[in-house]
Amino acid sequence: MLDRVTVIVRDGRIVAVDEDAEIPFDAQIIEGDSLWVYAGFLDLYARAGVDAPDAPDYDGDRGDPPREVAGIVPDRDVRTLYDPADNAVKALREAGFTAAHLVPKDGLFAGMGAVALLRQPGRAETTTSVFLPQTETAIAQIDGARGVYPATPMGVLSVMRETVENARREMGSREAFSRDASRALRPSYSPVMDALAPVLAGDRALVFHADSWLNAHRALRVTDEMEIPQTVLAGVPDVVPVLEKLRQRGVPFIAPLALPDTVAADSLAREITLPPATQAAPGGVSFVTDRRTVSFRDTDAETGALTAQRIASVQRAEASPARLAQAEIAFGFGSFDAKGGDVRDNLRRMVEAGLSREDALTALTTGAAEIVGLENALGTVERGKLANLVITTGDYFADSTDVRFVFVEGVRHEIEARKKKASGDPNAVVTATGTWTYSVTTPAGAQTGTLTITGEAGDLSGEIETDGDVSPLNSVTLEGDLITFTFTIQGGPDVSVSGTISGDEFEGTADVGSFGSFPMTATRQPE
Partner 1 sequence: MPRFLSLSRGAHGPRTTASRRVRRPSSVARGLAVALALLLTATASPAQTPADLPPASARGDVLIRNATVHTVTNGTLDNTDVLVRDGKIDDIGQGLSAPRGVEVVDATGMHLMPGIIDAHSHIALSSVNEATNPIVAEVQMRDALDPSDVSIYRALAGGTTTAHLMHGSANPVGGENETIKFRWGTLDPDGLLFEGAPRTIKFALGENPTRVHGQGRGIRPRTRMGIEQVYREAFTEAQMYRAEQEAAEREGRPLPPVNRRLETLADILSGDVLVHSHSYRADEILMLLGVLQDFGVDRVTFQHANEAYKVAPELAAAGASASVFSDWWSYKFEVYYSSAYNAAVLARNGVRTSINSDDAGMIRHLYHEAAKTQRYGGLTDDEALALITINPAYQLGIDDRVGSIEEGKDADLALFTAHPLSVYATVAKTYVDGIARFDAERDGDDQRLYVDPDDEILDTSALLVRHEDGCMILR
Partner 2 sequence: MRSLLLLAALAVTLVGTASAQDPAYRYETGTYAITNARIETVTNGTIENGTVVIRDGAIEAVGAGVSAPADAVVIDATGHTVYPGLIDGGTRLGLAEIGAVAVTIDTDEIGDVTPQVEALTAVNPSSTHIPVTRVEGVTHAVTVPQGGLLPGTAALIHLVGYSPDQMFAGSRAIVVNFPQSGRRGRWDRRTDEAIAKATEEAMKKLNDVWDEAVAYARIDSARTASGSSAPMPYQPEAAALLPVLRGEMLLMVEANAAADIRAALEWIEDKNVRAVLTGAAEGWRLADEIAEAGVPVITGPVTGLPTRGSDRYSRAYENAALLHAAGVEVALRTNEAENVRNLPFQAGFAAAYGARHGFTREDALASVTIVPARILGVADRIGSIEVGKRASLFVATGDALEPSTQVTHLFIEGVRVPIDSRHIRLYEEYLDRTPALALPGESR
Point out which span in 29-37, 294-302, 336-344, 393-401 binds partner 1 (CB under 8 A): 294-302
- Strand-pairing partners, residue 8, are 16
Binding of partner 1 by 495 (CB under 8 A): yes
Cα distance between residue 177 and residue 190, in whole Å: 15
Considering beta carbons, is residue 164 or 464 the nearer one to partner 2? Answer: 464
What does the per-residue mask of binding to partner 2 show for 270-309, with x meaning CB under 8 A?
--------------------------xx-x--x--xx---
Cα distance between residue 78 and residue 262, in whole Å: 33
Point out which span in 24-32, 82-90, 146-154, 365-373 binds partner 1 (CB under 8 A): 146-154
Q: Which amino acid, 160? A: M
- 153 interface partner picked from partner 2, partner 1, none, CB below 5 to 8 A per type: partner 1
Quote the least distance from Cβ 486 to partner 2, whole Å: 16
Cα distance between residue 45 and residue 232, in whole Å: 11
Binding of partner 1 by 420 (CB under 8 A): no
Quote the least distance from Cβ 522 to partner 1, whole Å: 14
Q: Site for partner 1 (CB under 8 A): which residue of 15, 16, 55, 285? A: 285
Binding of partner 1 by 291 (CB under 8 A): yes
Considering beta carbons, is residue 123 or 186 the nearer one to partner 1? Answer: 186
What does the per-residue mask of binding to partner 1 show for 338-367, with x meaning CB under 8 A?
------------------------------
- 417 interface partner picked from partner 1, partner 2, none, CB below 5 to 8 A per type: none
Which parts of 43-62 interact with partner 1 (CB under 8 A)? 61-62
Containing H/E element for 38?
strand 36-39
- 224 interface partner picked from partner 2, partner 1, none, CB below 5 to 8 A per type: none
Quote the least distance from Cβ 142 to partner 1, whole Å: 9
In 10 A of CB 11, how many CB atoms? 8
Q: How far is CA 432 from CA 247, 459, 461, in A?
A: 53, 11, 10
Binding of partner 2 by 311 (CB under 8 A): no
Query: If you write DSSP's letter for every residue of 290-332 in order, what string do you get?
Result: -GGG--TTSHHHHHHHHHHHHHHHHHHHHHHHHHHHHTT--EE
Radius of gyration of the chain (CA): 27
Sheet holding 253-256, edge to edge: 41-46, 97-102, 109-117, 137-141, 206-209, 231-234, 253-256, 331-334
Q: How many CA atoms lie within 13 A of 508 on its CB side?
A: 23
Answer for the pair 97, 339: CB distance below 8 angstroms, yes or no: no
Q: Site for partner 2 (CB under 8 A): which residue of 267, 490, 502, 514? A: 490
Binding of partner 1 by 452 (CB under 8 A): no
Quote the least distance from Cβ 392 to partner 1, whole Å: 28
- Binding region for partner 2 (CB under 8 A): 296-297, 299, 302, 305-306, 490-491
